[in-house]
């Protein structure tokens, strides 16, 4: 299929702990996008990765694209309650299409 596989489905952490979600594909990806959806909200774009081995940081968030361009990860250092939500990876395709993973739902306990 065209979807990307994402694990874990759920992650519960205590505030201050780290969090990682993984995205895998059986085929080489031209790009990977990451979105965050707060409870009751809509997906909001975080970042796009296109280069092999690419690493990008946004404050406490670190995004990586694998050397073979078949996997990606999002790592959050020292989670905060504001990080709560579902994180999705998505394969971007031509003509404005996105194919999403199933998401990782993050719960942060204070």
Partner 1 sequence: NAGVTQTPKFQVLKTGQSMTLQCAQDMNHEYMSWYRQDPGMGLRLIHYSVGAGITDQGEVPNGYNVSRSTTEDFPLRLLSAAPSQTSVYFCASSSRGELYNEQFFGPGTRLTVL
Q: Which spans of this chain sit near partner 1 (rule: CB under 8 A)?
A: 2-3, 6, 9, 30-31, 33, 41-45, 48, 50, 88, 90, 92-103
CA distances from 80 to 3, 14, 106 (A): 29, 9, 11
| Cβ proximity to partner 1, 16 vs 41, nearer residue | 41
Would you give the distance in Å from CA 96 to the centre of its chain?
19
Tell the smallest beta-carbon distance from residue 34 to partner 1 (Å).
10
| The token pair that represents 74 in the structure block | 């999002």
* 3 state DSSP class of 96: helix
Tell the smallest beta-carbon distance from residue 76 to partner 1 (Å).
19
Tell the smallest beta-carbon distance from residue 5 to partner 1 (Å).
10
């Amino acid at each position: 299929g065209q979807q990307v596989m994402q694990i874990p489905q759920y992650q519960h952490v205590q505030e201050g702990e780290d969090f990682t979600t993984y995205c895998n594909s059986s085929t080489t990806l031209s790009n990977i996008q990451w979105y965050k959806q707060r409870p009751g909200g809509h997906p909001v774009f975080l970042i796009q990765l296109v280069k092999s081995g690419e690493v990008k940081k946004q404050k406490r968030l670190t995004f990586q694209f694998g050397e073979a361009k078949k996997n990606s990860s999002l790592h959050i250092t020292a989670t905060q309650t504001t990080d709560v939500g579902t994180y999705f990876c998505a394969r971007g395709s031509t003509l404005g299409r996105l194919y999403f993973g199933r998401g990782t739902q993050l719960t942060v306990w204070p």
